[in-house]
A and B are shown apart, each in its own frame.
Chain A
């Protein structure tokens, strides 16, 4: 029979609007966080990272916010473009777990004209 897969949460955004993608992470001891973008048929692509001693970091059109109190991470994309349509993953690394990332389930972002 058919397998039942994960149903990714979907964020529909109008072109030109700002997007906010949220992620709840699990390990209060995590000290490093990354956002990845994955387009169909490709591997995850690094967007931006943040260390636990920071609460905000900005890149080109993207901002990551970290709230350690509630274990929440968000990615803000300014002036969303059609090329931003993809699945976005947050990933965390536990303190001392050298290089080993734990990925979230992902959020599908659909940009509409």
Chain B
């Protein structure tokens, strides 16, 4: 099992540029989560999907952030335009279909730096 795969591992971009983060969940997991981690606020849930449908996007900070899940094996988180305060580590996690009381399995994250 390859686990949750995120790309890129590191992204450095200039303010105003579009950033796209990618995630491949664990095969067979029907729920996918995007989290952001900063020193100031710790781990924050941005959005989560179940069966490719967004269930709760109340954690998405602004309209500059958008997420898609076109199929069961791929999701993207896009920031357009990016700002320095978006600098953080972004994690994707997945959970099995009966994920009501199942742990989330995290990828190793994308460290985003916006200058």
A: residues with CB less than 8 A from B are 3-6, 31-32, 34, 36, 41-46, 49, 51, 89, 93, 98-106
Is B48 within 8 A of A5, CB to CB? no
Contacts of B78 in A (CB 8 A): none
Could you give, for residues 34-74 of chain B, a 1 whenever the CB lies within 8 Å of some chain A CB and a 0 otherwise? Answer: 00001110110100101000011000000000000000000
Instruction: Kindly state the separation between the CA atoms of A78 and B48 in the bound complex, as whole angstroms.
Output: 35
Contacts of A49 in B (CB 8 A): 101, 103
Contacts of A43 in B (CB 8 A): 4, 91, 93, 106-109
Q: Could you show 25 A-B contacts with beta carbons less than 8 Å apart?
A: A5-B38, A6-B40, A6-B42, A34-B104, A36-B106, A42-B109, A43-B108, A44-B106, A46-B103, A46-B104, A51-B101, A89-B43, A93-B101, A98-B50, A98-B55, A98-B99, A98-B100, A99-B50, A99-B55, A99-B95, A99-B100, A99-B102, A101-B45, A102-B45, A104-B42
Instruction: Kindly state the separation between the CA atoms of A101 and B94 in the bound complex, as whole angstroms.
Output: 12
Is A99 within 8 A of B33, CB to CB? yes
Contacts of B109 in A (CB 8 A): 42-43
Instruction: Kindly state the separation between the CA atoms of A47 and B7 in the bound complex, as whole angstroms.
Output: 24
Q: Which of A41, A46, A98, A103 contacts B42 (CB 8 A)?
A: A103
Instruction: Kindly state the separation between the CA atoms of A29 and B103 in the bound complex, as whole angstroms.
Output: 18
Contacts of B108 in A (CB 8 A): 41-43
Asked if B31 CB lies within 8 Å of chain A CBs, one says yes
Q: Closest Cβ of chain A: how far from B88's Cβ, in Å?
A: 12
Q: Closest Cβ of chain B: how far from A1's Cβ, in Å?
A: 13
Q: Closest Cβ of chain A: how far from B96's Cβ, in Å?
A: 10
Instruction: Kindly state the separation between the CA atoms of A46 and B93 in the bound complex, as whole angstroms.
Output: 11
Q: Which of A3, A5, A32 contacts B101 (CB 8 A)?
A: A32
Q: Which of A31, A98, A102: most chain B Cβ within 10 A?
A: A98
Is A99 within 8 A of B4, CB to CB? no
Q: Which of B50, B55, B56, B91 contacts A44 (CB 8 A)?
A: B91
Instruction: Kindly state the separation between the CA atoms of A51 and B100 in the bound complex, as whole angstroms.
Output: 11
